[in-house]
Amino acid sequence: MTTHLPSRRARRDLRGPVTIWEVGPRDGLQNEATVVAARVKADFVRRLLDAGLRTVEVSSFVKPSWVPQLADAEDVFSALGPLVRTPPDGVRLPALVPNEPGLRRALDCGVKDVCVFASATESFARRNLNRSREEALHVFEPVVAEAKSAGLGVRAYVSMCFGDPWEGEVPEADVVSVCERLVGMGCDQVSLGDTIGVATTGHVDSLLSALGEAGIGPELLAVHFHDTYGQALANTLRAIELGITTVDASAGGIGGCPFAKSATGNLATEDLCWALEGAGVETGVDLDRLVETSVWMASVLGRPSPSKVVQALARARDADGREERPGEVPA
């Protein structure tokens, strides 16, 4: 197959390298109507690693009734076997944990990196966590302390950093306050979530500036954009220009949020890789392999991938295949 890659023109304003935090197996599959078997999820993780991704978020140890699509977290980690307990150098396989019981389940599976999830708004905290924003932060304190004591890496997600479907635009002071609390607990990184995809590049500038003034610089942050209004890639590139070096993305652009119905898919990993490679930023990802993986997962889910790059490269691959078949008579 002909390799279809962008023409590389290095941009001086994009600093590298960029770490891609792949969320497809967790954040991608949690909002899909199709419940994928544990062995298929494990195969998905392996394929993503084979494509060159080094951080792949595997699942979530939440109550099965909350997110039934991820009720098989133990089975998925078990199917991954030695990859979890003795991962290759540079490979991380995190899991989301909502509370201390979830953390203990993760520890029993040999997980070495965990994520907690908070909300910048009161409305979403009550709908997603069934607690007030303050109550949720209190729940996370012992989780983070126990995880750090066990030698685990801890990341925090903050949802609704740019807009909330019930409250509208979110005050930056609220986002900063929650991030300060999470960093103060000992979280290694905070991922800023544009849960309903309403962020703009100007809003990215403003929020990162406010966080910087509070002493929370790009080295402590990641970004997580949804593509509801087609702005996820633009917002991500702007964040990278401003010094962010860790970016969340989902293979094939799958995902959303089961607790915010206006949220659509995540930034597609392929679209991000295409843009970064074209700008001269190394990703370490084999784009052809990644596209093959996303086409495969789309077939499992029974719907086409929303990623523009997946669609374009899949068409190009099919065209190459037709050209290679001798004796075919054009219609």
**Catalytic residue positions?**
257
Q: How many other C-beta atoms can be found within 10 angstroms of the C-beta atom of residue 163?
A: 20
Query: DSSP secondary-structure letter at 36?
Result: -
Look-up of token digits 């709908």: 127
CB 233 within 8 A of CB 241: no
SS3 content of the chain, % helix, strand, coil (to 5): 45, 15, 40
Cβ neighbours of residue 2 under 8 Å, at least 6 residues apart? 316, 320
- What span, in angstroms and rounded, lies between the C-alpha atoms of 305 and 297? 8
| CA angle, 241 then 271 then 281, to 5° | 45
- What span, in angstroms and rounded, lies between the C-alpha atoms of 58 and 7? 33
Peptide bond into 87 cis (omega under 30): no
